[in-house]
Structure 1
Amino acid sequence: MFKSLTTKGSALGRDESAADSTHVYPTLESLVRLRFDARGFSLLPHQPVSSLLSGRHASRLRGRGLTFEELRDYRPGDDIRSIDWRATARLRKTHVRVYSEERERPVLLVVDQRSCMFFGSARTTKATAAAELAALAAWSALDSGDRVGAIIFGDDDIVEVRPHRSRENVLRICHELVRMNRLLKADSGRSNPSKLNAALRRAVSVANHDHLVVLATDYFGNDNDTHRHATRLASHNDVLATLVYDPLGASLPIDGGADVTDGSHETTVNVTARVNERYVEQFRLLAEEIRGRLRSIRIPVLPICTHESIVSQLLNALGERR
């Protein structure tokens, strides 16, 4: 399968000399500026998360954990859902269970910066969109008073930034995102599918329980091991999966030449309506497979498009600011 596709002259990564003007690569300054958009923004929605990929099946992030405080008499205005019916029957008087919200929920970002992510047809590349999403999530976590860390993986390396509650740690995450993104080139070669599972294994060892784990990837290399690692992550944590995609990766321009490459070989394909129909169906089946696997373990999936603002997409999907 071809890992990337471009129409002639449209891929951002083709003209690296124009990288900064076309937003191919993020800068440290651009990721730091996202802290203003992150203020008052929550990655834990107040409503079920739905998306184009999850269809009618909504998943719910648990949000911050609750700690049991006490069992007391029912008072007017108490939520009837908090009534402890066993205690009520035993004590012959209505009792409710009182909980307090956990003060902290560490956030772990798992960010894909492999060569398969170095593709974009308009605003930016998938790799840069993932970096922007991660930076926004990191600043949001810090604004909420939570510790935040990251696992950033490329074709060769995996960088781990342990969760800490400090501006310096978020800046380190942003620095590593920029550094690894800058390693990507149009001729980077074949992407390493095994690094997805290697990064998830690392995430399992870091997020042992009660973390919010945010995945930012296109899931190249997704297989049964991916599902196993995601299941382990979701068993004791909240997991929010984002599927980063470019519209040109979902549908081709008809009646035009398209250059396709697997990282080693390149050829030109004459795109007809029939070719595009097969291509669209292939993307749909891939997205359906990813959605189905994650939905089976109650992980919500948010599509993140390279053509649109990351901030507006997250606000539309997760609801208004706090």
Structure 2
Amino acid sequence: MYAPQQAADGLVYVSLAQLMALEFKARALSFVARQPQGSILSGNHASRLRGRGLNFDELRRYQPGDDLRHLDWRASLRTGKPVVRTFTEERDRPALILVDQRMSMFFGSSHSFKSATAAELGALAAWMVFNAGDRVGGLVFNDQRIDSIAPLRSRKRVEALCSKIVQQNQQLNATQPDCEDADQLDKVLQHCLAVAGHDHLICLISDFAGAGPRTLQLMRQLAVHNDVIAMQVYDPLALDLPKNGRLLVTQGQLQVELAVQHPHIRQPLGDFLSGRFKDIASLLRRSQVPLMMFSTALDAHSQLRTELGKLGGPRR
């Protein structure tokens, strides 16, 4: 069990009722629906998601209209008659939703905290998987703990995942030190490798703080036999520092208040934050995993619709 519930306004802390209510909003969204031309999930490269896998069913005689790509040439030569392989679609597909609730996520400068945005995105992804008839599971992690929920085609399993997200979200507190365990994200991906054999959909929602070469390697390993989507949650402050006022910066247990109106403070801090943000985005793109980016200044659901290509763009 977790500590007494924080006031869940949906912007700093989330509630189970809030995440469960996202089922309706997720109905119009899909990870594998045919995407508009400009969508991140369209194209002929690794960005196209596989959808559900196919299981070999049987060999049978060729019939007019059969797909010639399914001809089994060895069997055809052996029998002297054209033979095709037939397949059945997997009835359901396992999905793992990875949701970051580390202290690096407990920040927001305008609309909501990164941790709350990630929680909403995790719930939306879980409902999308459930509505597609697939199995829902996930890993919810903070700086010290990784909670694992095995994939299952069940509304109760969606609720279990959302409950874990809420529990860890409610445990975040400004008085906690930022542990900055550089290995925690890699530990989560390593754990994911151990439980996701092949043909999983893996959705990683994080600010990717602490990501490095090992992170890149693990994401590539996951993507060999699975569909992996990276959702990077960021705060607009990383791209545009305010011109006036004071900014509280934390590092571990150290807290420093900076007067950002002074150019000699604002310029190097802005360069550091934007540089770190761009470095992580560049690393994620090198992984060849589809990357979606979500600002804490905007509604999570509307951004997800846009990133999935549900708004605008001509159909091919």
Classify the TM-score, shorter chain: 0.7 to 0.9
Number of the residue aligned with 2:187: 198
**Contact 2:109–2:235, Cα closer than 8 Å, also in 1:** yes
Number of the residue aligned with 1:291: 281
Number of the residue aligned with 2:308: 318
Number of the residue aligned with 2:297: 307
**Contact 1:215–1:241, Cα closer than 8 Å, also in 2:** yes
> 1:74–1:177: structure 2 CA closer, same or farther, 3 Å change rule?
same
Number of the residue aligned with 1:60: 48
**Contact 2:38–2:309, Cα closer than 8 Å, also in 1:** no
TM-score where L is the length of structure 1: 0.79
Equivalence map 1:95-134=2 (5 Å): 100-134=88-122
Shift of 1:113: 0.4
Shift of 1:102: 3.1
- In the alignment, the residues of structure 1 paired with residue 39 and residue 46 of structure 2 have an alpha-carbon distance, to the nearest angstrom, of 5
Matched residue of 1:265: which SS?
strand
- In the alignment, the residues of structure 2 paired with residue 296 and residue 73 of structure 1 have an alpha-carbon distance, to the nearest angstrom, of 45
Moved more, 244-253 or 260-269: 260-269
Shift of 1:144: 1.5
**Contact 2:103–2:142, Cα closer than 8 Å, also in 1:** yes
**Contact 2:109–2:237, Cα closer than 8 Å, also in 1:** yes
Where relative contact order (Cα < 8 A, 6+ residues apart) is larger, the structure is: 1
Per-residue CA distance 1:93-152 (angstroms, 9 max, x = gap) = 999976554332211011110111000123211011111111111122112221111111
Per-residue CA distance 1:173-204 (angstroms, 9 max, x = gap) = 11111111011111211233321111111111
> 1:286–1:83: structure 2 CA closer, same or farther, 3 Å change rule?
farther
> 1:73–1:21: structure 2 CA closer, same or farther, 3 Å change rule?
closer
- In the alignment, the residues of structure 2 paired with residue 243 and residue 287 of structure 1 have an alpha-carbon distance, to the nearest angstrom, of 10
Moved more, 19-28 or 149-158: 19-28
What amino acid is aligned across from residue 255 of structure 2 in structure 1? H
TM-score where L is the length of structure 2: 0.81
- In the alignment, the residues of structure 2 paired with residue 288 and residue 59 of structure 1 have an alpha-carbon distance, to the nearest angstrom, of 20
Number of the residue aligned with 1:225: 214
- In the alignment, the residues of structure 2 paired with residue 308 and residue 178 of structure 1 have an alpha-carbon distance, to the nearest angstrom, of 21
> 1:59–1:271: structure 2 CA closer, same or farther, 3 Å change rule?
farther
**Contact 1:39–1:140, Cα closer than 8 Å, also in 2:** yes
Answering whether residue 15 of structure 2 is matched by residue 34 of structure 1, we say: no
> 1:251–1:74: structure 2 CA closer, same or farther, 3 Å change rule?
farther
Runs of 4+ in 1 over 4 A off after TM superposition: 48-51, 67-71, 82-87, 93-100, 272-281
> 1:94–1:312: structure 2 CA closer, same or farther, 3 Å change rule?
farther
Equivalence map 1:106-185=2 (5 Å): 106-185=94-173
What amino acid is aligned across from residue 156 of structure 1 in structure 2? Q
Number of the residue aligned with 1:240: 229
Number of the residue aligned with 2:257: 267
Per-residue CA distance 1:266-305 (angstroms, 9 max, x = gap) = 2223345675555554444434433333333420110011
- In the alignment, the residues of structure 2 paired with residue 175 and residue 195 of structure 1 have an alpha-carbon distance, to the nearest angstrom, of 21
Number of the residue aligned with 2:34: 46
Aligned-CA RMSD value: 3.3
Matched residue of 1:130: which SS?
helix
Per-residue CA distance 1:191-228 (angstroms, 9 max, x = gap) = 33321111111111111111000000001111122112
**Contact 1:31–1:174, Cα closer than 8 Å, also in 2:** yes
Moved more, 308-317 or 40-49: 40-49
Moved more, 277-286 or 258-267: 277-286
Shift of 1:315: 1.1
**Contact 1:216–1:241, Cα closer than 8 Å, also in 2:** yes
What amino acid is aligned across from residue 216 of structure 1 in structure 2? I
**Contact 1:250–1:279, Cα closer than 8 Å, also in 2:** no
What amino acid is aligned across from residue 298 of structure 2 in structure 1? E
Aligned residues: 296
Shift of 1:45: 4.5
**Contact 1:74–1:95, Cα closer than 8 Å, also in 2:** no
Q: Kindly, what percent of the aligned residue pairs are identical?
A: 38
